[in-house]
Amino acid sequence: MTQGGALMKLPRILVIENDEVAAGRMVSFLEEAGYEVVRAVDAALGLAMLYETHPDLVIMAGSLPVINGEDPCLRIRQASYLPIIVLGGVYDAIEALELGADAYMNKPPGREELVARVNALLRRRTADSGLPMPGSDDDFFGGHFS
């Protein structure tokens, strides 16, 4: 992807999901929406990939087993301020959010809602960093309206 002749990095999403069918659907949805997706099949591999691939956002199953006595969402939150979306059943939302998730979705997520939540969290992350959003006019954000 290029912008003004410069190569732009696609936002990278790390999907940590042990259900092959659910993971395949999410990867397909996200790639069709223009994201680069990397996938881990368990929490331990997901944590390793967090450091190796430097994703912009993490989507993870809420049902992943604990790692050394700690919840995987909590471990990721302790290591990073990346946006985290946790997927699970209706009654798991409060626990996931208290452990550090930024958003919670019931499984299986629909294409439109998943992509909309990813877009929203990445927009917020970009705004919080003080950097202009990809594809924006820097002069507009700098206060120059000419």
With respect to residue 136, please indicate whether it lies within any of the assigned structural domains. no
Distance from C-alpha of 52 to C-alpha of 46, rounded to nearest angstrom: 10
Distance from C-alpha of 119 to C-alpha of 135, rounded to nearest angstrom: 14
With respect to residue 44, please indicate whether it lies within any of the assigned structural domains. yes
With respect to residue 107, please indicate whether it lies within any of the assigned structural domains. yes
Helix axes 72-79, 43-53, angle to 10 degrees: 20
With respect to residue 135, please indicate whether it lies within any of the assigned structural domains. no
141 or 2: whose pLDDT is higher? 2
Distance from C-alpha of 18 to C-alpha of 145, rounded to nearest angstrom: 49
Q: What is the pLDDT of residue 94?
A: 92
Q: What is the pLDDT of residue 70?
A: 87
How high is the mean pLDDT of the chain? 85
CATH number at residue 65: 3.40.50.2300
Distance from C-alpha of 119 to C-alpha of 53, rounded to nearest angstrom: 19
With respect to residue 144, please indicate whether it lies within any of the assigned structural domains. no
DSSP structure class, residue 11: P
Contact 16, 43 (CB under 8 A): yes
Domain that holds residue 97: 9-128
User: Where does the pLDDT of residue 138 fall: very low under 50, low under 70, confident under 90, or very high at 90 and above?
Assistant: very low
What is the number of structural domains in the chain?
A: 1
pLDDT digits (tens, 9 = 90+) for 107-132: 999 999 999 999 999 998 877 666 55
With respect to residue 142, please indicate whether it lies within any of the assigned structural domains. no
Average pLDDT over residues 68-96: 90
Q: What is the pLDDT of residue 39?
A: 98
pTM assigned to the model: 0.82
Strand partners, 39: 15
7 or 28: whose pLDDT is higher? 28
pLDDT digits (tens, 9 = 90+) for 30-65: 999 999 999 999 999 999 999 999 999 999 999 998
Q: What is the pLDDT of residue 38?
A: 98
Contact 62, 100 (CB under 8 A): no
Q: What is the pLDDT of residue 146?
A: 36
